[in-house]
Amino acid sequence: GLPAPTSPQICETGGGGYVLPLFGDAEHLWNSQLRSVLYLFGLLYCFMGVAVISDVFMGAIEKITSKKVLALDPKIGKLRTMTVWNPTVANLTLMALGSSAPEILINVIGIFPNFQASELGPSTIVGSAAFNLLCIVALCVVSIPRGDVRKIKDMGVFSCTAFFSVFAYVWLLVILEWSSPNVVETWEGVLTFLQFWVLVLCAYLLDIGCYPGGAASTRLMVQAEPSQDDLCAMELSVRRKYGQFTNLTPEQVSLLMDYEFFSPHSRAMHRVSATRSLFGGKQVLGTKGNKSPYRQGMELAQFLKQRPGGSGMSIMSSIGEDGDVKVEFQALNYTVLESVGTLKITVRCKGCSTGPVEVTYATRDGTAHQDDDYHRVEGTLEFGPGVLEQTIALQIVNSEGLEETEEFYVDLLEGPIGKRKTVTVVIIDEDSAGVLKFETEQKECQGMEEDQLVKVTVLREHGSTGKIRCNWATEDGDAMAGADYDEASGVLEFEDGQQSAEICVNVKANFKYEGTEYFRVILSDPQGGSAFDASTDGGSDSCILTVIILADEDRRGRMDKLANLVRINWDAVDAGNANYRDQFVSAFFCGGSLAAQKEAGWSEYAAHVAAFPWKVLFATVPPTEYAGGWVCFFTSLLMIGGVTVIIGDLAELLGCTWGISKSTTAITLVALGTSLPDTFASKTAAQMEPHADSSIGNVTGSNSVNVYLGLGLPWTIAAVYWQFVAACVPGDSWWQLYPKEAVSWPEGIFVVPAGALSTSVLCFSLCAGVCIAVLVLRRQVIGGELGGPPVYAWLTFAFLVGLWFLYIAISIAFEAR
């Protein structure tokens, strides 16, 4: 199946690709200028198509990686609702695959059907990496608002991905130039692919804090919304930070809270948002013309800091005044019963490794008063070399009379103080409003052939004085509202002296076997002085009960085997069928709805019309509700592969009609076209996120994965084929194509001509090292990788973009030589 050594090119008579030219040899007789225009238009239009289907693909990945399950927390020995995917692992696996799917699939598809290395594929990987690291990072540097700075938060993970993003390309030089020139042996392909898993493992261990430089990450609970206590603490922090501005409105305080305590979005969400912004799709991170609350809060904060006397009073300006040493509280809130006696508060020191560090502290009245509710303490904490934690002991007074829930504060006053400088201590009276929790954190019910009412009991402990209330609502797990149970919500009230109350949820008749399913009942927003039991699922922010619906025992035995073979939640399929309508509505209207279309500008409408055929075609992809997003994942991946095949043929046709090589086409047109959505996604992440991890860290991680997965996987397949399956003999097509390699490997070997690829890889590796050095220098001099003074930001932009042009020029010059 190998082509002859003198095979015609794709744009010549007798030549062809996978599916193009569409009209065969007759197309080669057309005017070359007309063909160039048609191929260029087709290529650009396919770039639009692959961006649209990648949007669907990333939506499936977002669904998969956000899955939550009940897991045993070893610290407390109880079940907790936790996310399945570690964020770092998700970024380096599924999300990296999603953002680089076209580049990776060009290589995977390129080795078939004859298991030869594609000229287009490897060069696309290197060209895309160069554009990502040099141009996208340069754009992110100047996208930050004037004077603002973004720095990488998790330097451990970034250092890991940055190292591998350079080493991956150095490794290509090793195997193509020095280990076995122009040849990839099986062990080299396998080792390249295995480095992908080494990268994921190292980044994961750094993320969870197993190695120095890593910071243990926390998994999100079901209740992402802040509790009332959290909101109070946030408001207090904001008002203290901007305390010199006494005329702040509640709306302004809310915006500042959004800015100071912003929760970052996932990489998939930024990619989806960027693609939809480009092509007039439904917005997921705010609409055009309406700045996000975070963005408005950031602009307000910058305005306040520029006002006279505004900058010196802020907490943010105090952080880092004493170098990298910061002393702060471990937690911002403590809730205790008045009978607790002694409460110990932990204070941590970051960077206390070289010498003694001292900070002063003191208690401060709130609604709780010293001597009546607690004993005042003040003093100095000293952190010696290597001492990272100290505690402050507080004595709580157990009064005899009936009291409301009260609070007081502990402040860090002088020294290298971090952001968490104030702790709020809430004291709950033994005879106060009480603490709420479910009687049990799990409740089982048998699936029946008729509806049944499930009752769950909420207990009120440690006091029952006064009237209290809290909100409650159901939330889907595996069980789906409307199919397995009736969605419900409401307000649960306790009268004075009432110690228990019931919530009723209707579980619907189950006419088909599905195995065990579950949904949640969640309590939130306690009022009237009550609180939640922090030791139960949901912690102090919420209270979570899991209702488990067991299958009908009479049918379990005969259906278990079938249920294991077909792992599809049919209720989710029912919901998914309803969502097909939403998908087509989003495809038909600019902005995803009729209301959004009425507010769309002409440019958005034009982009929507251009992308309309792609949107309608890809609306046929199964919704993400099917099997937890996996059906959508594989279907959209298959469609990306189909569009990628057409992109490969069009790129070769265009390069051939223009008279430029495949590698030059790959590092310019193909690399830019496939990287366009990532460009806008990284720019959006740089502007919206409080740190640079989502914009810069994702670039280095993606560049590493492109080599290890995009080249490691197909090269391993091809190397195994040529070494263990193919049997070449002198005089056959392989011997004619590769006479030099046939001398050393007469039975055949996987050949990857180094040539221009090695030059491109070497040039990029040097540019990548310089780029990372520039980012490190900016962190040391300016305080962050992104933003800073406009002069330095634009100088960085010009330098990095200049490096990219230099890389392109050297690669093309060597190819033309």
pLDDT, tens only, 191-238: 999 999 999 999 888 887 776 554 444 333 333 344 444 455 566 667
Across 382-408, average pLDDT:
80
On the question of pLDDT at 500 being above 50, the answer is yes
Alpha-carbon gap, residue 393 to 600, rounded angstroms? 59
Alpha-carbon gap, residue 320 to 314, rounded angstroms? 12
Select the more confidently predicted residue: 539 or 411.
411
On the question of pLDDT at 511 being above 70, the answer is no
Amino acid 212: pLDDT: 54
Across 124-145, average pLDDT:
92
pLDDT tier at 773 (50, 70, 90 boundaries)? very high
On the question of pLDDT at 74 being above 50, the answer is yes
pLDDT tier at 802 (50, 70, 90 boundaries)? very high
pLDDT tier at 280 (50, 70, 90 boundaries)? low
Amino acid 146: pLDDT: 79
Select the more confidently predicted residue: 155 or 639.
639
On the question of pLDDT at 101 being above 50, the answer is yes
Amino acid 543: pLDDT: 93
pLDDT tier at 302 (50, 70, 90 boundaries)? low
Across 178-203, average pLDDT:
93
550 three-class SS: strand
Three-state SS sequence of 435-486: EEEECCCEEEEECCCCCEEEEEEEEEECCCCCCEEEEEEEEECCCCECCCEC
Tokens of 112: 């078939």
Question: What are the strands of the beta sheet with 435-438, ordered from one edge?
Answer: 500-507, 452-461, 435-438, 531-532
Alpha-carbon gap, residue 512 to 556, rounded angstroms? 11
Select the more confidently predicted residue: 558 or 189.
189
Cβ pair 21, 28 in contact under 8 A: yes
Terminal Cα-to-Cα distance of the chain (whole angstroms): 31
Question: CA of 543: how far to CAs of 433, 457, 779, in Å?
Answer: 17, 12, 42
Alpha-carbon gap, residue 78 to 32, rounded angstroms? 71
Closest CA to 471 of 424, 426, 528, 430: 528
Cβ pair 550, 447 in contact under 8 A: yes
Alpha-carbon gap, residue 234 to 218, rounded angstroms? 20
Q: What angle do CA 624, 629, 635 make, to 5 degrees?
A: 85
Cβ pair 360, 379 in contact under 8 A: yes
Across 4-31, average pLDDT:
82
Lowest model confidence (mean pLDDT) among 572-576, 608-612, 677-681: 572-576
For the entire predicted model, the pTM comes to: 0.61
Amino acid 420: pLDDT: 83
The residues facing 550 across adjacent strands are: 446
Q: Which sign, positive or negative, has the C-alpha torsion 658, 659, 661, 667?
A: negative
Is residue 611 exposed (0-12), middle (13-18) or buried (19+ Cβ within 10 Å)?
buried
pLDDT tier at 166 (50, 70, 90 boundaries)? very high
Closest CA to 61 of 203, 200, 269: 269
Across 558-577, average pLDDT:
44
Across 3-17, average pLDDT:
74
Is residue 419 exposed (0-12), middle (13-18) or buried (19+ Cβ within 10 Å)?
middle
Q: Report the C-alpha dihedral over residues 624, 627, 632, 637, rounded to 10 degrees.
A: 140
pLDDT tier at 82 (50, 70, 90 boundaries)? low
Amino acid 401: pLDDT: 64
pLDDT, tens only, 413-425: 888 888 888 888 8
Alpha-carbon gap, residue 685 to 132, rounded angstroms? 14
pLDDT tier at 321 (50, 70, 90 boundaries)? very low
What DSSP letter does each residue of 214-272 carry, written as one string? Answer: -----PPPS--S--HHHHHHHHHHHHHHTTT-TT--HHHHHHHHHHHTPPPPPHHHHHH
Which amino acid would we find at residue 604? E
Say what percent of the chain tops pLDDT 90.
Answer: 30
On the question of pLDDT at 360 being above 60, the answer is yes
Amino acid 604: pLDDT: 83
Amino acid 127: pLDDT: 92
Select the more confidently predicted residue: 240 or 704.
704
List b or e across 433-456, with b for residues whose CB sees 16 or more CB atoms inside 10 angstroms.
bbbbbbeebebebebeeeebebeb
Locate tokens 């059906």: which residue? 631
Amino acid 164: pLDDT: 94
Tokens of 278: 């480009």
Amino acid 552: pLDDT: 64
On the question of pLDDT at 257 being above 90, the answer is no
On the question of pLDDT at 68 being above 60, the answer is yes
- The mean pLDDT value of the chain amounts to 80
Amino acid 466: pLDDT: 82
Question: What are the strands of the beta sheet with 406-412, ordered from one edge?
Answer: 333-337, 422-428, 406-412, 357-364, 378-383
pLDDT tier at 266 (50, 70, 90 boundaries)? low
Lowest model confidence (mean pLDDT) among 148-152, 573-577, 774-778, 786-790: 573-577
Select the more confidently predicted residue: 690 or 281.
690
Amino acid 377: pLDDT: 94
Pairing state between β 422-428 and 333-337: parallel
CB atoms within 10 A of CB 12: 12
Say what percent of the chain tops pLDDT 70.
Answer: 78
* Distance of alpha carbon 719 from the chain centroid: 34
Alpha-carbon gap, residue 587 to 344, rounded angstroms? 57
Amino acid 232: pLDDT: 59
Which amino acid would we find at residue 544? I
Tokens of 169: 């390309």
Which amino acid would we find at residue 377? V
On the question of pLDDT at 275 being above 60, the answer is no
Cβ pair 346, 327 in contact under 8 A: no
Domains of the chain, each with CATH number or no CATH: 24-219+605-722+753-816 (1.20.1420.30), 228-262+292-318 (no CATH), 326-418 (2.60.40.2030), 435-561 (2.60.40.2030)
Three-state SS sequence of 346-393: EEEEECCCCCCEEEEEEEECCCCCECCCECCCEEEEEECCCCCEEEEE
What is the Cα gyration radius of the chain? 31
Pairing state between β 442-446 and 543-550: parallel
Amino acid 720: pLDDT: 94
Across 139-146, average pLDDT:
89
Locate tokens 């409408």: which residue? 605
Tokens of 470: 């809290």
Across 629-650, average pLDDT:
91
pLDDT, tens only, 460-499: 987 777 889 999 999 988 888 888 899 999 999 998 888 8
Amino acid 662: pLDDT: 86
Alpha-carbon gap, residue 391 to 397, rounded angstroms? 19
Cβ pair 519, 484 in contact under 8 A: yes
Alpha-carbon gap, residue 9 to 657, rounded angstroms? 10
Amino acid 77: pLDDT: 55
pLDDT tier at 521 (50, 70, 90 boundaries)? very high
Amino acid 149: pLDDT: 87
Report which listed range, 222-226, 300-304, 570-574, 730-734, is most confident. Answer: 730-734
Determine the angle formed by the axes of helices 755-781 and 790-816, rounding to 10 degrees.
170
Cβ pair 532, 437 in contact under 8 A: yes
